[in-house]
Amino acid sequence: MTPVHLDLRGKRVLVVGAGPVGLRRARALAESGADVHGVALAAPAGAPGTWQQRPFAPSDVQGAWLVVAATGTGDEEVAAACAARQVWCVRSDDHERSDAWMPAVTRSGDVTVSVTAGGDPRRAVALRDAVALQLDAGVLPVRRVRPGVGSVALVGGGPGAPDLLTVRGRRLLAEADVVVTDRLAPRLELSAETIEVAKTPGATSWDQRDIEALLIARARAGQRVVRLKGGDVHVFARGMEEVQACLSAGVDVEVVPGLSSALAVPALAGVPVTARGVTQSFTVVSAHVAPDDPRSSVDWAALAALGGTLVLLMGVGRLSAVCGALVAHGRAPGTPVAVIQDGSLPTECTVVSTLVDAPRDAAGLRNPSVIVIGEVVAVRAAPTVAPAHARR
Ligand SMILES: C[S@@+](CC[C@H](N)C(=O)[O-])C[C@H]1O[C@@H](n2cnc3c(N)ncnc32)[C@H](O)[C@@H]1O
């Protein structure tokens, strides 16, 4: 057997028979861009392409690059018509007598893996699924060897635990030549070159424009660049500036959303940001400057009046000022507050308090922390099964 991958885009293929096998194959062929034509005795429901409801005629094979015979009653006549015209024919009735086989296929980015397994389709599917799982896990060596066109992918890494990264993010990391990563992005064992571009207050810090220049320079050098960020790429993460810089430079760029700490960290700590009968809204706010700071553009009076759940990021250093402002603007002093530090990491810890007591109770907590304010904190339920990050 000689495995060959065919580019059937725009090419005529014929499917004979519209039973489950014929339909499945017609769909697979249509997905790869083939010009699907079909002949079947029964009207095919939901089949892609152009179908005729009538018996097969040998002349149907004329002009087809590939024929799939799936008559359900023996494919001999179709196979003979193909052989007479030197057209490849995939028989569904008899693997041994077929000239061509459709393998079990998995795709991951620009990688295609196809499997045949001694005429045993279920065995091929099982093997294909095992490979697909490994591709999804990003553990196979899929990094490009031949130079190609460079690109940038902004990947949201989730709150920090490596297993909260998306499958797409993992795949892109496995394909990456270089990973440009933030301080709060998940710590991963990567074989690619890794460049930390932390913006830690007080420490050596990367300027945003320099980060953008780095992404563009590496992509222009033909590298696949992953810009790995904590949480989601567009939640207080300056992702749009990087997207726009790439677009202006003519560099291909894609965005892979991530689990924002604004939602994931409370959830992992057992706090739902909404709960039926408790609150109908949640608001995510950056508290990187205090309410009385002239740079603050947040309307704290409106937030206090809004009720619902408030989720504050970058606010742990301003907890006292924020709680004070909310109480001053009318939010009940006994409103429950949860401060969750290092969500999803082995060092995760949560302090539950109220608006008046939180500044004292959570005084020992530091960044990164998510602050949740609202009645939902009172319905907090500690998970009965220890989450993965707590089991490690
Ligand atoms: C610059 S913002 C970036 C937010 C991020 N893009 C996201 O969607 O989660 C950083 C803030 O996110 C929050 N944060 C991120 N990871 C966290 C974690 N593992 N535990 C608690 N808070 C976290 C903290 O409030 C931190 O100060």
- Cα-atom radius of gyration of the chain, to the nearest Å? 29
C-alpha–C-alpha distance, residues 127 and 104, integer Å? 9
Which candidate, 14, 305, 259, places its Cα nearest to that of 155? 259
**Bond into 359 cis (ω within 30):** no
Is residue 344 within 8 A of residue 161, CB to CB? The reply is yes
pLDDT in tens, the chain (392 residues): 899 999 999 999 999 999 999 999 999 999 999 999 999 998 788 899 999 999 999 999 999 999 999 999 999 999 999 999 999 999 999 989 999 999 999 999 999 999 999 889 899 999 999 999 999 988 999 999 998 999 999 999 999 999 999 999 999 999 999 999 999 999 998 989 999 998 766 667 899 999 999 999 999 999 999 999 999 999 999 999 999 999 999 999 999 999 999 999 999 999 999 999 999 999 999 999 999 999 999 999 999 999 999 999 999 999 999 999 999 999 999 999 999 999 999 999 999 999 999 999 999 999 999 999 999 999 988 766 666 666 55
Residue 182 bears catalytic tag: yes
Residues within 6 Å of ligand 1 by CB: 159-160, 184, 229-232, 235-237, 260-262, 265, 313-314, 340, 342-345, 367-370
Ligand 1 mean position, distance from CA 184 (Å): 7
Angle at alpha carbon of residue 219, lines to 161 and 229, rounded to 5°: 20
Angle at alpha carbon of residue 309, lines to 371 and 313, rounded to 5°: 30
Residue 11 bears catalytic tag: no
Q: Is 43 exposed, middle or buried (0-12, 13-18, 19+ CB in 10 A)?
A: exposed
Is residue 215 within 8 A of residue 242, CB to CB? The reply is yes
Which candidate, 222, 160, 229, 164, places its Cα nearest to that of 197? 229
Can you say whether the dihedral through the CA atoms of 321, 322, 328, 331 is positive or negative? negative
| Domains detected in the chain | 12-102 (3.40.50.720), 151-259 (3.40.1010.10), 262-379 (3.30.950.10)
Lookup: tokens for 355: 């608006």
Q: Is 30 exposed, middle or buried (0-12, 13-18, 19+ CB in 10 A)?
A: middle
Ligand 1 probe mutation, 155, 208, 261, most atoms within 8 A of CB: 261
How many residues make up the chain in this entry?
392
Residue 302's alpha-carbon distances to 204, 323, 359, 371, in angstroms, are 37, 14, 22, 18
